[in-house]
Amino acid sequence: MKSKFYFAIFSSSLLLLASCQKWLPQNRIVGIWKLEQAEKRCFLNSDGIYTSYESGIFVFNDDGTASYSDASIQMNGSWDIRRISGGYSDSDGNWRDESRTTLIIHLYNFSATRVLDWYFDRIDFHSSGDRLVAFMDPPGYTYKYDFRKQ
């Protein structure tokens, strides 16, 4: 009787863990995406920017490979999502967590001498995973990229 109980607990745990997999960022990014817009933000100002990648589609595969294509070029490469954990102690001695999820995209077409090498300092999924907002945070300003799942 105890073995059936343990088997039921074990099976339930596996089912629970398997169902949680869909919420991982690595699973949510898999698919076809379009860069809708990008902007450069400063303290009280933001300006739209043109990246030349708005006209095509990005494909992120579950094996870590990626591609970009539009009417004029096909680029292939890889993507990686990483969880960066860290933090700091504020002036009152309280620990402040600064964990974030990063996205790295490497795409290339050497015969066309094109390389895309994006490192996003933080990303966030919105609208049940159909929108990906990615940020590059160099000193003094922020670049925001808004992707939509197709």
Domain boundaries, the chain: 25-149
The Cα–Cα gap between 101 and 120 comes to 9
Phi, psi angle pair for 11, to nearest 5°: -65, -40
Using the 8-state DSSP alphabet, how is residue 51 labeled? -
8 A C-beta contact, residue 126 and residue 145? no
SS3 113: coil
* Phi-psi domain of 124 (left: phi exceeds 0; alpha: psi -120 through 50; beta: other): beta
Tell me whether strands 95-97 and 87-89 are parallel, antiparallel or unpaired.
Answer: antiparallel
CATH architecture of 25-149: Beta Barrel (2.40)
**pLDDT exceeds 70 at position 15:** no
pTM above 0.85, yes or no: no
Which of the four pLDDT bands, split at 50, 70 and 90, describes residue 21? very low
H-run or E-run covering 104:
strand 100-109
* Phi-psi domain of 5 (left: phi exceeds 0; alpha: psi -120 through 50; beta: other): alpha
User: Mind listing the pLDDT tens digit for each residue in 36-86?
Assistant: 999 999 888 899 999 999 999 999 999 999 999 999 999 999 999 999 888
